[in-house]
Amino acid sequence: MSIENLLLPRKKELLKSWFDLFVRAYAPEAAVMLKGESNQFANPVGQTSLSAMADILDEFLNECRIDKILPPLGRIIRIRAVQDLAPSRALAFIFLLKGLVRQILDGETAAGKVSHADLAEFDERVDGLALAAMDIYSKCRDSLYEIRIGEIKNRTNRLLLKAQIIAEVPEHKSERHDN
């Protein structure tokens, strides 16, 4: 029996443990709120993260299709990318799955139902998830700088146009430019 098959019936337990560890990156006061408040508008970080982690696990323990994993992974990484966390800290929660799975399947491992090869294969998938998260994180940071530049352009572009410091080619050849 594969690790995934053993984990599927215990998905809730895995999710709860993973989320419990996830909120430990935050201050104790915040962790209480992130775990305790179930209204998604009163607790956007906690609820978005929890539902994204649930969606990630759903797919991760099944077919592990990249197009199904990237959207929820994106939801959670997009938040982490603007929080007061170094990239290593922002992504470290993903690697915790390795230890959690060993903990949860401790009995099965002892009973010989889980081999070293199974665990190694699972670890590799976790690494794949982390690498995908790294791509997303990097894109989020890039977009942050892009929108920062866009904002400055929006603020001043018309002034530059009007001051005739820049003269762009008009988009439409309408009559107004002939008048």
Partner 1 sequence: MAKLPKPSELALDYTLPKKGWMDAAVDFRPGTWSHAARAKNLEAAGLPNARQWSPADSDWKLPSNWKQIIFEGMRERLEKFRSLRIFMDICVRCGACADKCHFYLGSGDPKNMPVLRSELLRSIYRGEFTLAGKIMGSIAGARELTENVIKEWFYYFFQCTECRRCSVFCPFGIDTAEITMIGRELLNLLGLNIDWIAGSVANCRHTGNHLGIQPHAFKNMIEFLADEIEAVSGVRVQPTFNRKGAEILFITPSGDAFADPGTYTMMGYLMLFHEMGLDYTFSTYASEGGNFGMFTSHEMMKRLNAKMYAEAGRLGVKWLLGGECGHMWRAVNQYMDTMNGPADFLEVPKSPVTGTIFDNAASTKMVHIVEFTADLIRNGKLKLDPARNDNLVMTYHDSCNTSRGMGFFEEPRYVIKSVCNKFHEMPPETIREQTFCCGSGSGLNNDEFIEMRMRGGLPRANAVRHVEERHGVNALSCICAIDRSALTTLMDYWVPDVTVYGVHELVGNALVMKGESERTSDLRGDPLPGMEASEDENI
> Residues 45, 54, 119, 134: which binds partner 1 (CB under 8 A)?
45
Closest by alpha carbon to 93, among 21, 10, 164?
A: 21
Cβ closer to partner 1: 8 or 123?
A: 123
Euclidean distance between CA atoms 69 and 35, whole angstroms: 23
Cβ closer to partner 1: 16 or 113?
A: 16
Euclidean distance between CA atoms 73 and 88, whole angstroms: 16
Cβ closer to partner 1: 8 or 92?
A: 92
CB 73 within 8 A of CB 129: yes
Query: Quick one: tokens of 44?
Result: 């956007």
For the CB of residue 177, give the shortest distance to partner 1 in the complex, in Å. 8
Q: Binders of partner 1 among 25-44, rule CB under 8 A?
A: 25-31, 33-34, 37, 39-44
Euclidean distance between CA atoms 135 and 141, whole angstroms: 10
Cβ closer to partner 1: 11 or 35?
A: 35
Query: Quick one: tokens of 53?
Result: 């982690």
Query: Quick one: tokens of 90?
Result: 């922002």
Residues that bind partner 1 (CB under 8 A): 21-22, 24-31, 33-34, 37, 39-45, 48, 78-79, 82-85, 88-89, 92-96, 99, 143-144, 147-148, 150-152, 154-159, 161-163, 171-176
